[in-house]
Chains A and B, each alone.
Chain A
């Protein structure tokens, strides 16, 4: 079984809709991250969480919100989706004191 899972894997939604992307991990890591990836650009950090009570904005948090429901679960929400949020979204985890990040398989989101 995969250590970091994301659901859904693909999603098409319309402008203005609310959508939630979910991430679960069985690695026991405290730290979790949400990134988006656009063609030709590097991974951009949206939000990160060092534990259930510690959530921080990344470089591109506008238009997004997150929830850390448990150590193993970190959800990303788009309150009102817009077309320029069409991208590949990755969840990642890392262990305390370690900086290597482990990525989920990604969610391909299309906003029409």
Chain B
């Protein structure tokens, strides 16, 4: 079967750094996405990794290791507006997105 695992919830402090992990077991791999979703709103695209390594985009970075079936999203200089759920999704061999349940990130002052 296909499986994507993320922690259900994480808490961090404003101004700090947090790393949200995602492990996956899917039928094939054609890339991994991270989306941000504020409560009651639509998911919005953050990053896409298809090759191993770190992709940096401002305060957010995403890392991929295909051999380990592992990715993480790194958020630096946390702001209160970063309180949201972060969804990991893998593009499988049929080019369908398989979604994790999401990690709810709570930022405290």
Interface residues in chain A, defined as those with a beta carbon under 8 Å from any beta carbon in chain B: 40-45, 48, 88, 90, 99-106, 108
Contact = CB atoms under 8 A, between A and B. Distances in A.
B29 interface: no
B42 A42 contact: no
B45 A43 contact: no
Given A42-B101, A43-B87, A43-B99, A100 B43 contact: no
Interface of A is mostly: loop
Given A42-B4, A42-B87, A45-B96, A99 B31 contact: yes
Interface of B: 4, 8, 30-31, 33, 40-45, 48, 87, 89, 91, 95-102
B96 A42 contact: no
Contacts, number: 46
A108 B99 CA distance: 20
A100 B48 contact: yes
B36 to A, nearest CB: 11
A105 B40 CA distance: 9
A104 B31 contact: no
A5 B30 CA distance: 28
Contact of A99 (B40, B97, B100): B97
B101 A40 contact: yes
A42 B41 contact: no
B41 A105 contact: yes
A39 to B, nearest CB: 9
A48 B94 CA distance: 13
Nearest to B99: A42
B44 A103 contact: yes
A105 B43 contact: no
Contact of A100 (B40, B45, B101): B45
Contacts of A48: 96
Contacts of B102: 42
